[in-house]
Structure 1
Amino acid sequence: MIYLDESGDLGFGPRASKHFILAAVIARNPSEVGRCIKRVREQRLPKKYKQIPELKFHNSSQTIKGRVLDCVARTDTDIAYAVLRKNQVYEQLKNRQQILYNYIVGSLLLKIITEYHIEGTAKVFVDKSLYGLEKDHFNDYLTWKACMGNHLKDLDVEPPEIIHVDSRLDRCIQVADFVAGAISHKYSSGDDHYYDKIKSIISISMDFFEGKDKDCVVNPSLLRPIRLRAASSFSGRTYNTTQDNMHQA
């Protein structure tokens, strides 16, 4: 199972974030990952945390952040992420945020499928409130990117199953939020404290566009093949490939 969440924004105004982070939690045992949130909530917490419906990185204390991230690092889970350096985005793309967003998600998903040699249907869970999400357009693009926009002749790749969920009801999406927040904290502040907690399980890092590790497999030893058997149907809809012509700024 692949769970996606983000940190930052795709705005370009004076108050916008300098980076946009997309994190993927690749969970071989989702229930084990979800328990990281459950265990933290069962502990003695200040009253304000008991009352909120969802723990998130940005509204949690240092202690809660550390507990969640430490727990995730002990699970049979890998992390892949993409970082967009927004100062390098083409001017003509700054007002086409949906295309920019879809490209980042599609590129990261394709990288995961190819590096992990995923055969069968990859189940991809996304927060239904993800930035600027237009559901049908988003689903069509990821289907095209994963199955038609590549040359995976050696893999039996099926269209990914894109599942939109309410993050308040899905603990694994909540974990992905903490992971995205930890990575974002590193890029925005230069502080590796939270990032270091999950560093050992980071398998893939994609840097758009001129990062030190632009398209990097961080830890090859984590890339165990994943073969899935869940069935999925493909409507046969096509996607305009001209919208995938993203280039370095």
Structure 2
Amino acid sequence: MTKKYIYIDESGDLGLSERSSRVLIISSLITDNPAQLDRIIKNARRHKFNKELKKAKEIKFNKSSPELREYLIKALNEINGCQAIHCIMHKGKLYSTYLKEHKDKLYNFVAGGLANNITLNSDIVEIRVDKSKGKNFLRTDFNQYFEKKLRNSSVIGKINIFHSYSENFSGIQFADLLSGSAYQKFNNSDSHYMELIDNNKFPQYCIDLWKRKE
């Protein structure tokens, strides 16, 4: 029986004011062996970054030193069976009044664009989303929409979706690091962190919501 794991997090915000981010990015880390991710973070905590991480419950891109970010991102080049997909929404291209007025639907729409570009063939897929939706009906709405979009281009038996605290899952923490890296590129024109990934070893794809895969 085959099983895949998908971890999801976002960077940017849902605001549309001048002070808001120019993009919203939802990123996924897909793996068949999450234990590899656990080992990387455990090693970082126990050895090289013991002092920095001593009081940190979780690793977040915007709270980590450049050295820690680089170490963890580069480590992804050394593991097998993983890939990342980023869905980028440039807010200047958003014209739907409905989506502008319903932020939860906007988030689902971007996440659906991500799901629509994930292609899997697996008996079971376990999905962990960083827990941000406080109300059950919002989580249910997201789950139903995301699963529908994911099945468009995949052959999957059972899909289990969980909304989890990132401190409990290394995969969500890595999804945060990856989305933060993509945010630096597409919001701040800084490609440094994304360029640390060797696409031959760790495939990484960027989806512009209104364009083709890069």
TM-score, length basis structure 1: 0.75
CA deviation map 1:57-105 (0-9, x unaligned): 0011110000010111211111111000011111502121111211221
Aligned counterpart, 1:176:
175
Q: Kindly report which structure 2 residues correspond to 1:31-70, keeping only aligned pairs within 5 A, or say none.
A: 31-45=35-49, 47=51, 49-70=53-74
Q: Does 1:205 align with 2:206?
A: yes
* Equivalent-residue separation in structure 2 for 1:189 and 1:108 (angstroms): 21
| Matching residue within 10, 15, 26 for 2:19 | 15
Q: Is residue 113–residue 209 contact of structure 2 (8 Å, CA) maintained in 1? A: no
Q: Does 1:110 align with 2:116?
A: yes
Q: Is residue 133–residue 139 contact of structure 2 (8 Å, CA) maintained in 1? A: no
Q: Give the number of aligned pairs.
A: 205
CA deviation map 1:117-155 (0-9, x unaligned): x232321111112699821111121233234xx4x6xx6
The farther-off stretch of 193-202 and 4-13 is 193-202
| Matching residue within 117, 120, 123 for 1:120 | 123
* Equivalent-residue separation in structure 2 for 1:107 and 1:159 (angstroms): 20
Q: Structure 2: where are the runs of 5+ without partners?
A: none
**CA distance 1:14–1:156, change in 2 (3 Å):** closer
CA deviation map 1:17-70 (0-9, x unaligned): 001111111112111022222221112447553112111100111100000101
* Equivalent-residue separation in structure 2 for 1:28 and 1:183 (angstroms): 23
Secondary structure at the counterpart of residue 120 of structure 1: strand
Q: Does 1:195 align with 2:205?
A: no
Larger radius of gyration: 1
**CA distance 1:75–1:14, change in 2 (3 Å):** same
Kindly report the root-mean-square deviation, in angstroms, between the aligned alpha carbons of the 2 structures. Answer: 2.2
Q: Is residue 125–residue 173 contact of structure 1 (8 Å, CA) maintained in 2? A: yes
* Identical residues among aligned pairs (%): 29
**CA distance 1:195–1:31, change in 2 (3 Å):** same
Aligned counterpart, 1:28:
32
Aligned counterpart, 1:246:
none
Structure with higher RCO (Cα < 8 A, 6+ apart): 2
Greater strand share, structure number: 2
Q: Is residue 118–residue 150 contact of structure 2 (8 Å, CA) maintained in 1? A: no
Secondary structure at the counterpart of residue 94 of structure 1: helix
Q: Is residue 97–residue 132 contact of structure 1 (8 Å, CA) maintained in 2? A: no
Q: Structure 1: where are the runs of 5+ without partners?
A: 219-249
* Equivalent-residue separation in structure 1 for 2:170 and 2:88 (angstroms): 23
**CA distance 1:202–1:10, change in 2 (3 Å):** farther
Q: Displacement, 1:158?
A: 3.2
* Equivalent-residue separation in structure 2 for 1:110 and 1:95 (angstroms): 23
Secondary structure at the counterpart of residue 192 of structure 1: coil
* Equivalent-residue separation in structure 1 for 2:102 and 2:198 (angstroms): 32
